Amino acid sequence: IELRHENHVALFIFGDSLLDNGNNNYISTILDFRANFWPYGETFFNYPTGRFSDGRLIPDFIGLPLIPPYLKPGNPEFRNGVNFASAGAGALLETHQGLLRQELGVAKAKNLLSKAVYLIGIGGNDYLTKNSTMVSNEEFVPMVIGNLTLAVKEIYKKGGRKFGFMEMMPLGCLPYIKAQNGGCCINGITQFAELHNSGFPKALNELKEKLNGFKYAHYNFFESVSERLNKPSKYGFKDATACCGYGEGRGVYSCGGKRGVTEFILCENPDDYLFFDAYHFSEKAYQQFAKLMWSGTIDIVWPYNFKTLFQANDQMF
């Protein structure tokens, strides 16, 4: 399903490996944060692009033509938008040194910036890499939300007015986590996502009150993923595990055999699986999520869906 929009609106993307379309091909980072080798990209592109999937990601379905990675050589065309997402990125600067701290100065036209939609899907890595017991979960979550809020304010200062946000998914049910727990989810890790998802809408309401013209779409990613984990066949999946990896539910993060563990098993048809590897979804899943974000009803994306954000001008709100 191609989710085209008639009025030309740029899409700027900030996020981690769920949204990274190849920036990490161009920076010095560890192989855990790279997907520029087979079998990544095998379904749609027929070669590895750096996307952590067998094919396209959410932004590829929403922002057509395909949005280029910011770091791609040859100074890509910014008129359609650009993808700043970087695998391993977090909302906390301490999460990884590879976090892209680029300014939006390259896009000079204020008109373009104010009409653009800014898709932000970041924070999951902060929760997955939290290893300090110095800070409780209840204290840690507001730190992540606070950093997300700061990022929004910075983009707003540069002219951004329309934002799209993705909730945290049930992190404790990733194939990687389940493989370490006998195939079961770890609720303590999912608790981070639940705390985040209950706190973040309050932060968005505060931003709406403080920032004139601030509009947003908030996508209930948690619910979308949970439904597919619980009833994969209802959504056309044979399995809610990973297509590529090793061990229990192919949850060992070894897809492609270049991350320490060389053994991996690759399924025959990635469309049968909710996940492509131990952390990341299949193209089929991303396409379903993108469709919900684009035209979903208010119970799954609110107060606006992405289609409304893209197609509306200021007078329509």
Q: Does the active-site annotation cover 282? A: no
Q: At 206, which helix (H) or strand (E)?
A: helix 187-210
Q: At how many degrees (to 10) do helices 221-230 and 283-295 cross?
A: 140
The total number of residues shown for the chain amounts to 317
77 close to 67: Cβ distance less than 8 angstroms: no
43 close to 270: Cβ distance less than 8 angstroms: yes
Count of beta carbons in the 10 Å neighbourhood of residue 280: 27
- Catalytic residue among 54, 126, 271, 277, which? 277
Q: Does the active-site annotation cover 277? A: yes
Cα distance between residue 62 and residue 47, in whole Å: 21
- Catalytic residue among 17, 53, 86, 254, which? 17
- Catalytic residue among 96, 196, 218, 280, which? 280
Q: Phi, psi at residue 113, to the nearest 5°?
A: -65, -35
Taking Cα atoms as reference points, which of 167, 177, 161, 119 lies closest to residue 141? 167
Cα distance between residue 58 and residue 67, in whole Å: 11
24 close to 98: Cβ distance less than 8 angstroms: yes
Q: What is the dihedral of CA 123, 15, 257, 55, to 10 degrees?
A: 130
Please give the positions annotated as active site: 17, 277, 280
